[in-house]
Structure 1
Amino acid sequence: MNRFKKFLSLLITFAIVITTLSACSKEDKNNVQKSDSKNIKADQLVKVQALKGPTGMGIVKLIDDQKNKKDKKYDIKISNSIDEISPLIIKGKVDMAAIPSNLASVLYNKTKGKVQVMAINTLGVLYMVDQSGNIKSIPDLRGKTIYLSGKGATPEIVLNSVLKSYNIDPQIDVNIEYKQEHTECLAALEKNKNAVAMLPEPFVSAARLKNKDINVFADMTKEWYVANPDTKNSMITGVMVVRTDFAEKHPDQVKLFMEEYKKSMEYTNTDIEKSAKLIGQNKIVPEAVAKLAIPKSNIKYIDGKEMKDSMKAYLEILNKENKDMIGGKMPGEDFYYTK
């Protein structure tokens, strides 16, 4: 009897040990699974790049939302120049990026279709300015010196197109001087009070905060539509692109991002005070500059068929002027993400 009691006691003890070990094993396994889940989630964050300026200004609400969420979906970074972003796209180190519209076509051609444009995010941002206050409109530019940055790029195409629409020959009737940076254009303008400069936002607003004599006498987006009346939304500064293989593998993530990105851009345009504060906090441009620049930066979300039609119209104009600006040839139909 005593032997039986001892045996029973050992059996119960053994059972308790086994149960405890099993529970510990399950707990350890669950902890490993939870840890793995966190690691996987971190690895699966959608990597997005934007630039300082209008494209960064439009995505700022989405950046702020991610900071306040435990369940993050995006890793959004702001770059100082496009030279930082292009290699990341080519090497597949980012999933989506806000870049100049013509560069999207260049990268598509360079990578043989590995980049698609999802949405337009910025329309025209170029303005003509002077210091004298004597120039009132484009026809007054005859005989004047015009400073701008962007030879062989969109600013040159825009200026030439607008001048020709007023029967002003860019080679004969004006003196165009190209500079490397917008700051150089402004410095040259300050030395030559009778000259003019073509500058983009938010640089125009930044310049006007420092120099009250800077006068804006022409919105080059409006002038572009005078010069190209058969096109709609065809003055396109920036777009959001996605890697083709990412879009194919993760269509739901792409769709969700587009929806949230659109809301972020709408927030920037409708709540300027709060948006400007967020823009300043994220060091995209100073808050004071953002307040002035947002209404003039043409931050606008366009996707689907309208995006496709507008992009095609714009790229065709660039293609006629300079094929190199779009990578040598018009992109194919697969360039446009319209799902």
Structure 2
Amino acid sequence: MKTKALLFLLILSVLTSGLVFAAGGAEPRVTTTGSEQETAEAVQLRLGGLKGPTSVALAPYIVQPDRLGDGVRISTATYASPDLAISQILAGEVDIVALPTNLASVLYNRDADIQLLGVSGGGVLYLVADREMELLELTGQTVHTIARGATPDIMLQALTAGQGLHAGEDYTIQYAADQTELAQNLIAGRVGIAVLPEPFVTRVTSANPDLQIAVDLQEIYREQYALPYYPMTSIIVRGEFARQNPAAVRSWLADMPAAQQWLSENLPEAASAAGDLIGIPGQIIQAAFPRLNLTWIPAAEARTEIQTYLQIFADFNPASVGGKLPEADFYFQSELE
């Protein structure tokens, strides 16, 4: 217990330094849905994720907790803050969790017993302004974003540096406390240019028709790094659960492509049912869905993209990935691959 408590405090120190980005609610609490009944035959699979777009990929299991058949009972919980999610992982209270990829690396490098199953989110960051822009047009401008050292900050600086612009020299960054505050300032006209994640982009552009997506940062990333996506969100599994329940993990992995297809084909139902649990109104999920860039890429297929992405964070601040890039055993190897 002492080791787990120390591990939690070490990881929490990274989070409170603003090094991990997650879209979440204002109060740390857990919301759960799914089967509460345990049977002698069924494996209890507890899914989890942060409140916000990180957990939209889990919506099929919120709507259909029996997707894996009678042998697996699924419940789904969402957490309003990364530190709350970490405490649940370390306490063994959740089995498979959607998290920012760099947070998964932090956990691994702090000797948490986890492995990365795959990538579920390909990036949700956009530059918002009153017109379409090129990044070079940020010269001499002030760009607003959230939390120094968080994902939007790191990605903005990395992508502008790739085009010869450097924060503090060629343009200025100002930081808001969180996405909600920044969105409100944009809507009210107190801020003119900002980097925001979806679904806050949709909320802002819906409330203020003078604003629009100026730059799709995912597109810039693809051009700059010659890779098809960046793995902003990944899904991890507790090692103990995977060792004790290999069939359940294999079943879940086999179902993920079909689950994501179901989500695309049944978006109104999924968005309505999942909206309360993940803290996003259903209509906002539907409007933002094309820009949430949900995907499913098994760990073995995503390793190059993950290493490139984590190296960007490590170059900015090694603590943002836990001090170093993960070793090969970070990546789950499935018999399905």
Q: Give the Cα separation in 2 of the matches to 1:188 and 1:210.
A: 12
Contact 1:161–1:224 (CA<8 Å) still a contact in 2? no
Give the C-alpha shift of residue 210 in structure 1.
2.2
CA distance, structure 2, for counterparts of residue 62 and residue 337 of structure 1 = 21
Give the Å deviation of 1:236: 1.5
Q: Give the secondary structure class of the aligned counterpart of 2:148.
A: coil
Task: Kindly state the Cα deviation for residue 270 of structure 1 after the two structures are TM-superposed.
Answer: 3.6
Query: Is 2:128 the partner of 1:146?
Result: no
Q: TM-score, length-normalised on structure 2?
A: 0.81
| 8 Å contact from structure 2 (residues 61, 67) kept in 1 | no
1:225 maps to 222
Is 2:126–2:197's contact at 8 Å kept on the other side of the alignment?
A: yes
| Residues 146/242 of structure 1: CA separation in 2 closer, same or farther (3 Å cut) | same
For residues 170-201 of structure 1, give each alpha carbon's deviation from its aligned partner in whole angstroms, at most 9, with x where no partner exists.
12111100122012223443565673000001
Residue number in structure 1 paired with 2:206? 209
Question: Quick one: distance in 1 between partners of 2:107 and 2:160?
Answer: 30
Distance 1:257 1:84, change over 3 A: same
How many angstroms apart in 2 are the aligned matches of 1:309 and 1:119? 12
Cα distance in 2 between the residues matched to 1:310 and 1:118: 14
Q: Matches of 1:193 and 1:281 in 2, distance apart?
A: 30
How far apart are residue 137 of structure 1 and its match? 2.1
CA contact (8 A) 1:147 1:188 kept: no
Partner-residue secondary structure (3-state), 1:226 = helix
TM-score of the aligned structures, taking structure 1 as reference length: 0.80
Deviation at 1:275, TM superposition (A): 3.0
For 1:73, what is the secondary structure of its paired residue? Answer: strand
| 8 Å CA contact 2:116, 2:299 repeated in 1 | no
1:84 alignment partner in structure 2: 84
Unaligned runs of at least 5 residues, structure 1? 1-36
Separation (CA, whole Å) in 2 of partners of 1:70 and 1:323: 42
- Which one is further off, 155-164 or 185-194? 185-194
* Structure 2: gaps (5+ residues): 1-36
Structure 1 residues 287 and 192: CA distance shift in structure 2, 3 A: closer
Q: Which residue of 1 aligns with 2:236?
A: 241
* C-alpha contact (below 8 Å) 1:106/1:326 kept by paired residues: yes
Letter matched to residue 223 of structure 1: I
| Partner of residue 300, structure 2 | 305
Q: CA deviation at 1:215?
A: 1.1
Query: 5 Å matches for 1:1-40?
Result: 39-40=39-40
Instruction: State how far apart, in whole Å, the 2-side matches of 1:218 and 1:79 are.
Output: 30
The alpha-carbon distance between structure 1 residues 301 and 38, as it changes in their structure 2 partners (threshold 3 A), is closer
Higher alpha-carbon deviation: 185-194 or 329-338: 185-194
Alpha carbons 1:279, 1:290 under 8 Å: kept: no
Listed one character per residue, the Cα deviations across residues 131-162 of structure 1 (whole Å, up to 9, x for unaligned) are x33x5221221111111013212222210111
Report the aligned-residue RMSD: 2.3
Q: Which amino acid aligns with 1:186?
A: A
1:267-304 C-alpha deviation (Å, 9 max, x unpaired): 22343333333333645411210111111001000004
Give the distance between the partners of 2:238 and 2:38, measured in 1 at CA: 25
Q: Give a deviation string over 1:90-113, Cα, whole Å, max 9, x none.
A: 122211111110000001111x25
Deviation at 1:232? Answer: 4.2
The separation in 2 between residues aligned to 1:220 and 1:93, in whole angstroms, is: 35
Contact 1:269 1:299 in 2 (8 A): no
Residue 94 of structure 1 aligns to a residue whose secondary structure is coil
Match in the other structure for 1:48: 47
Q: 2:317 aligns with which of 312, 318, 322?
A: 322
Amino acid at match of 1:182: Q
Q: Take 1:86 and 1:127, find their aligned partners in 2: how far apart are those partners?
A: 27
Instruction: Give, in angstroms, the shift of residue 67 of structure 1.
Output: 6.8
Q: 1 CA distance for matches of 2:178 and 2:38? A: 44
Structure 1 match to 2:275: 280
From the two aligned structures, give the one with the greater helix fraction. 1
Q: 1:333 maps to which residue?
A: 328
Match of 2:159 in 1: 162
CA offset digits 1:180-227 (Å, max 9, x no partner): 201222344356567300000111112222222221111111111222
Q: Do 2:186 and 2:204's aligned partners in 1 also have CA atoms closer than 8 Å?
A: no
Match of 1:23 in 2: none
One-letter code of the match for 1:79? Y
- Say if 2:119 and 2:299, in contact at 8 Å, map to a contact too: no
Secondary structure class of the residue paired with 1:171: coil
Match of 1:294 among 289, 296, 305: 289
The farther-off stretch of 237-246 and 50-59 is: 50-59
Change in Cα spacing, 1:177 to 1:69, as seen in structure 2 (3 Å) is same
Change (3 A) 1:300 1:212: same
Residues 1:124 and 2:132 aligned together: no
Q: Which amino acid aligns with 1:316?
A: Q
